[in-house]
A and B are shown apart, each in its own frame.
Chain A
Amino acid sequence: MKTGRILRSVLIALLLALVLRPDWFVPIFAPFAPDGGPVIYQRASMLSLSLSHLGIVTLASAAATIVAVALAILVTRPAGAAFRPLSRTITNMGQTFPPVAVLALAVPALGFGAGPTLVALFLYGLLPIFENAVTALTSLPRATTQAARGIGLSRLQRLLRVELPLALPVTLTGIRLSIVIGLGTATIGSTVAARTLGEVIIAGLLTNNTAYVLQGGLIVGLFAVLIYDALVQLELYLTGRMGG
């Protein structure tokens, strides 16, 4: 536990330094840069790229969460049960489409910029959230749901006060998976001019500058690891409160 906390603080410090003071890393990245070439990406600040990257992922994940959870609630009601196979097929299709293909298909419709990336991340994020929310809502402890009905909670009260809170930890696992996938996948968005940290990586690949690739890759990786960890902590806290 203690080593975990130390490791976490070190990683946070490293990430902050990479984002806010990239110049500190010149000596480390210099061996990877081509002779005489730039070591640190200068065309945009790491902070603004990071914020834009996180913004796109947050927006797409929030939309995916709202749609997936709403769909999960719908198909776990008696009236919506018939739609469960259909909605499963749709969310599965979102997952089978490679994000690159979605980008390519979305550009003609939405133009260059953040739009196609948002669509790709949204489609890609639906499935884990939907599957987990459906599993959580259909495997609630029977005695608790029976009692909720038996003591006189209305349908809506049962959903809001009992079912959703109890389904939250497992749903959150789905959201976590979807966010982490999104953080990595968003880098591809830079190929269609979305402002993400992928810009640094792609610039590195185009100019044969490994230093850029490392710089961009490290930041994205650290964000993913730390956000993953924070969400795991949140889930543990929630399950702990419910007695696991």
Chain B
Amino acid sequence: MIEIDSITKTYGTMNAVDAVSMRVETGSITAIVGTSGSGKTTLLRMINRLEEPTSGEVRINGTSTSSVKPHLLRRRIGYAIQGHGLFPHHTVARNIGAVPELLKWSRDKINERVDELLALFSMDPAEFRDRFPAELSGGQQQRVGVARALASRPDLLLMDEPFGALDPIIRTRAQKDLAHIQRKLGSTIMLVTHDMEEAISLGDHVAVMDGGKLVQYAPPAEIIARPATDFVANMVGDVERPLRLLSLISVSEIIEAGEADGEGLPETASLRDALSACLWSGRDALPATREGAVVGRVTLKAIRARAGAHL
């Protein structure tokens, strides 16, 4: 568990981060979202002490981060940033193995871990191990950057706009990969983004920052349904709220018995996908499938009822 205890960072007379407190459960993804200048990156950078807090403290599993030397603390916390920040003069393997090397793992153990991570990110170890970062595509560089952050099995992974430099298609894929890997490894992740869509789709909790203050910290569904301030509502986007809400609910929640014509939709798809399919094909109901077999249907009426359930 990560506890942030009324942490403040002051530059001159301005509070970049103003008395923020929050608790992050082990094994969850927390997305910190805000506009530029909201203090979200400063908040993240105070957790691994790239910035020293002016007051307040951060505890990881009960131990204060100020009790350890900063560079030793950072070796226990994964860090991935926008534009990957890989070492251009080191091979992919050496980049990924950077932190284990600092922690003095044995050569064999490091090589094994590098291959394991490359395979996890669907990059063939034999093919990619000895390449240099400049020889990779943007998406591959970004994956290597995240693999490096995960290499030593850190207690916590901090990500600062990790997908900011990727084009939209690769970005969506990278987000899915991250969600998948997080579930598989059970890592605790704190991620900074300016994109509410990304925060809602990735975060188990979303923390909204505005002017250095934490204005709302809640699960995504609550952020959408009950924004705490106008600023949050604005970030969510009033017009898109129903769609964002639907994107969080899977088809399996409102499957009903019955028949429907046409192409089916897997039950793991979101209601937003289902609504889109209904509108596009002009149908009132779609067959819902589980591993290819039809298990029931999802109707436009039920989607509408679910979207209005917060009223």
- A residues near B (Cβ < 8 Å) are 141, 143-144, 146-154, 157, 161-162, 165-166, 241-244
CA distance A100 to B5 in the complex (A): 68
Min CB gap A153→B, angstroms: 7
CA distance A157 to B79 in the complex (A): 17
Q: Which residues of B contact A162 (CB under 8 A)?
A: 87
A-contact bits for B138-175, CB 8 A (1 contact / 0 none): 00000001001100000000100000000000000000
- Whether A150 touches B82, Cβ cut-off 8 Å, given contacts A166-B88, A241-B132, is no
Does A165 contact B81, Cβ atoms closer than 8 Å?
no
The residue on B at minimum CB distance from A243 is B134
Q: Which residues of A contact B72 (CB under 8 A)?
A: 152
Q: Which residues of A contact B133 (CB under 8 A)?
A: 243
- Whether A146 touches B81, Cβ cut-off 8 Å, given contacts A151-B149, A152-B99, A243-B88, is yes
| Residue of B71, B76, B87 contacting most chain A CB atoms (<10 Å) | B87
CA distance A117 to B164 in the complex (A): 56
Whether, in the assembled complex, B306 has its beta carbon less than 8 Å from a beta carbon of chain A, the answer is: no
Q: Which residues of A contact B135 (CB under 8 A)?
A: 243
CA distance A242 to B86 in the complex (A): 11
CA distance A154 to B74 in the complex (A): 10
Given A143-B84, A148-B87, A152-B72, 18 further pairs, Cβ under 8 A: A143-B83, A144-B86, A144-B88, A147-B84, A147-B86, A148-B85, A150-B81, A150-B85, A151-B102, A152-B71, A152-B76, A153-B71, A153-B102, A241-B89, A241-B132, A242-B88, A243-B88, A244-B134
Does B89 contact A242, Cβ atoms closer than 8 Å?
yes
CA distance A150 to B85 in the complex (A): 10
CA distance A144 to B145 in the complex (A): 11
Whether, in the assembled complex, B98 has its beta carbon less than 8 Å from a beta carbon of chain A, the answer is: yes
Q: Which residues of A contact B78 (CB under 8 A)?
A: 151
Main SS of the interface on chain A? Answer: helix
Q: Which residues of B contact A166 (CB under 8 A)?
A: 88-89
Min CB gap B88→A, angstroms: 4
The residue on A at minimum CB distance from B132 is A243
The residue on B at minimum CB distance from A165 is B89
Min CB gap B167→A, angstroms: 18
CA distance A26 to B51 in the complex (A): 73
The residue on B at minimum CB distance from A238 is B89
Whether, in the assembled complex, B75 has its beta carbon less than 8 Å from a beta carbon of chain A, the answer is: yes
CA distance A123 to B117 in the complex (A): 52
Min CB gap A123→B, angstroms: 32
Does B88 contact A151, Cβ atoms closer than 8 Å?
no
What are 14 A-B residue pairs whose CB atoms fall within 8 Å in the complex? A141-B85, A143-B82, A143-B84, A144-B86, A144-B87, A144-B88, A147-B81, A148-B85, A149-B50, A152-B76, A153-B102, A166-B89, A242-B132, A242-B134
Does A143 contact B81, Cβ atoms closer than 8 Å?
yes
Q: Which residues of A contact B86 (CB under 8 A)?
A: 144, 147
Q: Which residues of B contact A147 (CB under 8 A)?
A: 79, 81, 84-87, 145
